[in-house]
Amino acid sequence: MKTQPLFSKEQWAGYALWAILFVVICLMIAHNPTQRTVSLAYIQAAERFIEKAPLYEKEGIHGFLYFPHFALFFCPFAFLAPLPREILWRLFSLGLFIGAIQKVSSSFFPLLKPKAFLYFSLLVMVSAMASLRNGQTNLALAAVLLLAFVSCGEKKWIQAAFFFFISLILKPIALYPFLYAAFFFPAFRKTALATILLFILFPFLFSLNDLHYVYEQYLLFFKRMLTVSQPTEANFADIQGLLFAFNVKLSSSLSLLIRLLGAIGTILLGMAFDKKNPSLFSVLLYSFSTAYLLLFNPRTELNSYVFLGLSMAFFSLYFLSTEKKQKAAFLFILLTPLLGIEALGGTFVRLGLWLKPAICLFVQSLLVFLLIKKRLCCPLPSNPDREPPFL
Averages of pLDDT over runs of 10 residues in the chain (391 residues) are 65 94 94 81 94 87 88 94 94 97 91 88 95 93 98 97 98 97 97 98 93 95 85 74 83 87 94 84 96 93 95 95 89 94 82 93 93 54 41 40
CB 168 within 8 Å of CB 67: yes
The DSSP letter of residue 187 is: G
Q: How far is CA 77 from CA 39, 42, 222, 297, in A?
A: 9, 9, 26, 28
Q: Please report, in angstroms and rounded to a whole number, the separation of the first and last CA atoms in the chain.
A: 30
CB 306 within 8 Å of CB 244: no
List Cβ neighbours of 222 (8 Å cut-off, separation of 6 or more).
Answer: none
Q: Closest Cα to residue 160, out of 190, 137, 124?
A: 190
State residue 377's pLDDT score: 42
In this structure, what are the phi and psi dihedrals at residue 118, rounded to the nearest 5 degrees? -65, -45
The DSSP letter of residue 209 is: T
CB 289 within 8 Å of CB 184: no
CB 234 within 8 Å of CB 346: no
Q: What is the C-alpha separation between 336 and 79, in angstroms, rounded?
A: 37
pTM equals 0.92
Helices assigned H by DSSP within the chain: 9-31, 39-51, 69-73, 75-78, 82-108, 116-134, 138-153, 157-170, 175-184, 189-201, 211-228, 239-244, 252-271, 278-296, 306-321, 326-335, 347-371
CB 62 within 8 Å of CB 104: no
What's the length of the chain?
391
Q: Closest Cα to residue 40, out of 136, 120, 141, 149?
A: 136
Burial of 360: CB neighbours in 10 Å, binned 0-12, 13-18, 19+? buried
CB 71 within 8 Å of CB 281: no
CB 159 within 8 Å of CB 136: no
Half-sphere exposure of 188 (CA within 13 A, CB side): 28
The DSSP letter of residue 74 is: T
